[in-house]
Structure 1
């Protein structure tokens, strides 16, 4: 055995990770739920062992029955309080509710470092709220545009190849007919 390759038989122990999602949306969502990665697997066989699993605890902080106590984790506790301020200001009907919530949070010393660095981004987020359906629609439209552009380019290339095979037109005529540059046509020959 090569002396440079040494394997330790000693077991290394690492802390058990825990994953959380803090839900603060407006949809009807339970106070607590566990999401499993394996629930998204396509070819999962019933009753079989899953080779990789991830459990994520989701807490709906807006649900009255959510009993999660964040007091032992100051950043999360501050975040929950900040979200309450945002909701309070939003319900007031003021158009600048996010600015007002950020100012109140700064006065209450909630998320001080984060809001000092990112206040303008936080305020602008209200105008860019993530919406899954809109996100999917935009990505689909982008994919269609890329697909159409690729299809049009492929059509121009096929036209140029056909004209090259016919061997009756000049290079500039093929370029004009196909919409490709003369350099691109030279690469096709």
Structure 2
């Protein structure tokens, strides 16, 4: 089933950002991905670039934790150019933090290790995990690129990456919510996207799926 790009991408993107802009939930997602057990959300140093249309990464979440510079992004369509976008984004993050700070010194300036995760939930079939490399775009192939960026794409459609979902309840419920909307659109071809979303919100609140968020943020999700 093909999704309506103009509406469906918007609600998926917006809800993902609503859920994980909460530092507690973002930390839970980080722990689920890394196997760590951090408990204090205040340890997250959020450094997301403020410009909401920067490189069209409207749903990025950038933060430093334990000397890792993390960039998380949700994507509703497959984009093989994610590594190039990530390259630009990381460059600006490091420039903001370190430009002018003795980068010409004879002493090595240590920087947080980059980690780039793309959460994919489009309708094109994709494996649970896929690595996208900047070097794949090089016009002259090389086995030893002088610059490399790897985007780790994770399929978060319902039924994929089950172990990850079990470790992060909000991510699992997000996947369930999207799956319920798709079900209603498939079973009721005459329904608008708004009707399917509204019915899915009602069902999820009733069944304790993202209940707290959907009760509070219904208008933002529907907008």
TM-score, scaled relative to structure 1: 0.46
Q: Which has the higher contact order (CA 8 A, sep 6+)?
A: 2
TM-score, scaled relative to structure 2: 0.40
More strand as a share of residues: 2
